[in-house]
Amino acid sequence: MKVAGYNLIEVMVVVFVLGIVAGVAVPACEGAIAGYELQVAARQVVSDIRYMQNLSRDLLQDGLELDRDGYYIYFNTENDSYSIYKNFSEKIKEYSFPKSVDLYDTNFGGDRIALKMNGLINPGGTVIIRSRKTGKFLYVVVASISGRVRISSDYPATGSD
């Protein structure tokens, strides 16, 4: 009489095959997670810049001078973080990038973005962030005249916006 079930060899083969599949799938998932973390960091920068633009416009509606500087973002490439200030002194927010994301560089003429009371940014520039795991770059591009903020996977051409 034959007993239904699996023998030891069959179980070992199945475990071996599952181990190979898991060994191939895990590195692929790590790359996807690193890409997601990079996108989230870029979107956070865009969100904070747009938030500052709205705060600046609110100050303008309150009757303050148009040419005064209002809000600033100071980028710290050493610590992979940035801070938002109102009138140089009042810190509103501080954001640190995830450990897998490197604040690679900025080109705003110093490491800061200054917003006028009408929400315009002068000068425009780019925030460059990089994934430490994949080496992929994303660029947060800020146009100086229009104030448009966007994410690009390609390095922006000079004067493109």
- Residue 22, phi-psi category: left (phi > 0), alpha (psi -120 to 50), beta (remainder): alpha
Q: State the first-to-last Cα distance of the chain, in angstroms, to the nearest integer.
A: 81
Give the pLDDT confidence score for residue 61 in this predicted structure: 61
The type of residue at 129 is: I
Give the pLDDT confidence score for residue 138 in this predicted structure: 96
Task: Tokens for 101, please give them.
Answer: 């994301």
What is d(CA 21, CA 152) in angstroms, rounded to the nearest whole number?
34
User: How far is the CA of 122 from the CAs of 77, 112, 114, in angstroms?
Assistant: 20, 10, 6
What is d(CA 10, CA 3) in angstroms, rounded to the nearest whole number?
15
- Sketch the domain layout of the chain as residue ranges: 8-152
The answer to whether the CB of 127 falls within 8 A of the CB of 45 is yes
Describe the strand order of the beta sheet including 149-152 as a list of residue ranges. Answer: 101-106, 125-131, 137-142, 149-152
Task: Spell out the per-residue pLDDT of the chain, length 161, in tens.
Answer: 666 777 888 889 999 999 888 888 777 777 888 899 999 999 999 999 999 888 877 766 655 554 455 788 899 999 999 999 887 778 889 999 999 999 999 988 778 888 877 777 877 899 999 999 999 999 999 987 788 999 999 988 764 44
Domain 8-152 coded CATH 1.10.3720.10: no
Q: Which of 119, 153, 112, 111 is nearest to 136 (CA)?
A: 153
- Tally Cβ neighbours within 10 Å of residue 44: 17
